[in-house]
Chain A
């Protein structure tokens, strides 16, 4: 019917970026399972997939009582040794019979929740994207716990270079003519609705994780630039406040790095409108210009001081 997911993204609770061996330990959430690591074009580590059992109502825009039973797939990711994500998704499908079966049935279809009774995909999608009421499936809580799991690792020093809230991106994919809609809701909540002509594959979840990562980068850089008070604060002060952006963020922008070739057009269309990369480049230039201006000022002060001393 449809697939729904939620990704939480945050700055890793560590003073500097962590290296690959530490990443492997932080994300080694299951004995005997390998952490997948890719190094090109940017370091990206992915924990094994873990399952959580659920038996509850699904959010529905029409308030219909729709019960689903099954398992949610979750994982954690660390990009550039710096940004942590907790991600969960579930494929919602109609059950063959309208009663709950033994648990082994649901475990034979990992990552699927079966709907007992009638439900409309559009109604469930709209209900989920609007934000679920308390007695419904809570993918946000599951993703939040997985992110906490990585963040609370004893291997991290918990001295992050700046404080920034987590962002939450809820997504839904359905089969249909290719389309993507990205909506900013509040400071922290975003939704993505994707129609894809082929049946769901985990690559679509990876696309949403990549969107969430870049949306977080952009949101965070905007906040840091705003906090720097360019133009109102003295140049040196603004440049000092922008230093964490240079140290920790500017090199991480790599849209679509881990997204399959066939899904690249989704990223490209978002990059045309609203133009994430355009906004990122503008901000990046602003940060670099401020740092350069401040350097020039420092150089001219040094030069003047030098002349007076002669």
Chain B
């Protein structure tokens, strides 16, 4: 008898990673905080007025880049329901859509900021926190666990604590913090990721914004599955934010929510926040299989992507 090739598989022993549908670019048309809402619909119109020409430029840029001009561009809008609760979806959403329409902008997806912390029983912020791999200062051999300040993340070595005394030695003098990948001089950044009050954790705005970027880039998975999928909008808007799905799809013809790259059009007042977001994103280890999936997809359609996730995130400040 000739030899027989036997194959045996066990599903629980294999890693199965779902792939995300991907647009070429996800454009964030705005991010609404309570202060913007309180400033009235005029503030929203101004925002959309500023964004519209940039969104059009990016769309036509991608259309030129993709053969046949078939660029997949999706737009999204984020509402803060995490740091403060204001208004209701029934009152706010139509106002936002109307203000966007005045500038010929169509919002494909509407998301709630609190979904970046937790949605549908999945704690997205915890998933990302678990994937942080700290930027190691020179001399990090792995012999000791990484030095951490609980709830903080930096891009270098912090100053020694004032007054700390080394064993058998004098008190340490002040020394400056140092950026690990400095070129000549340091730009040291230390980001607060969360704080806790009475056992309740509040994630910081830059950390949730980093989760939001990873979600838009289709980089997150939980147990191998996509953690959130957009839900088509219902016939009417609910009266409570908690009754609104984490990501609502407003346009049934829309290109996929997540994309190879993201663009956010922001006021310059968000520059410090985005520096913090990039500091966080630079230290998130995305699953190697997910990175590979996206690379294969983009190679397959001839789109060259930046190797580093943080370089796929772009901005217009104005």
Contacts and interface: CB of A to CB of B under 8 A. Distances in A.
B131 interface: yes
Contacts of A139: 142
Main secondary structure of the interface of B (DSSP, over half): loop
| Residue from the set B15, B136, B141 with the largest chain A CB neighbour count within 10 Å | B141
A135 B143 CA distance: 9
Contacts of B285: 51, 71, 107, 110
Interface string A60-71: 000000010101
A121 interface: no
B135 A53 contact: yes
B138 A104 contact: no
Contacts, number: 125
Nearest to B125: A31
Contact of A142 (B14, B122, B131, B142): B142
Interface residues of B, number: 48
A196 interface: no
Interface stretch (A9-17, A34-42, A175-183, A216-224): A34-42
Nearest to B306: A108
A53 B181 contact: no
B133 A54 contact: no
B12 A104 contact: no
Interface string B135-152: 111111111111000000
Interface stretch (A95-103, A160-168, A265-273): A95-103
Contacts of A137: 141-142
B136 A145 contact: no
Interface stretch (B81-89, B196-204, B220-228, B236-244): B220-228
Contacts of A44: 13
A141 B284 contact: no
Contacts of A102: 181, 282, 308
Given A36-B14, A141-B143, A107 B133 contact: yes
B181 A32 contact: no
Interface string B110-144: 00000000000011001101110111111111111
Contacts of B310: 104
Contacts of B134: 53
Contacts of A37: 10, 12-13
Interface in A231-275: none
B142 to A, nearest CB: 4
A103 B135 contact: yes
Nearest to B308: A104
B71 interface: no
Given A40-B10, A103-B282, A108 B291 contact: yes
A47 B108 CA distance: 39
Main secondary structure of the interface of A (DSSP, over half): mixed
B56 interface: no
Contacts of A34: 15, 223-224
A79 B123 CA distance: 31
Size class of the A contact interface (CB-based, 8 Å): 35 or more
Given A54-B140, A54-B142, A56-B138, A36 B282 contact: no
Contact of B283 (A55, A107, A108, A142): A107
Given A51-B285, A54-B141, A105 B146 contact: no
A135 B142 CA distance: 10
A52 B144 contact: no
A30 interface: yes
A51 B145 contact: no
Given A102-B308, A103-B180, 14 more contacts: A32-B122, A32-B127, A39-B12, A40-B8, A52-B133, A52-B142, A52-B146, A53-B134, A53-B140, A56-B138, A57-B141, A104-B308, A135-B141, A136-B141
17 contacts: A31-B123, A31-B222, A32-B130, A49-B288, A54-B142, A100-B138, A100-B180, A102-B308, A103-B135, A104-B282, A104-B283, A107-B133, A107-B308, A108-B309, A110-B288, A136-B141, A137-B142
Interface of B: 8, 10, 12-15, 122-123, 126-127, 129-131, 133-146, 155, 180-181, 221-224, 227, 281-286, 288, 291, 307-311
Closest A-B pairs by Cβ, 8 of them: A38-B13, A53-B136, A32-B222, A103-B135, A104-B282, A138-B143, A104-B308, A56-B141
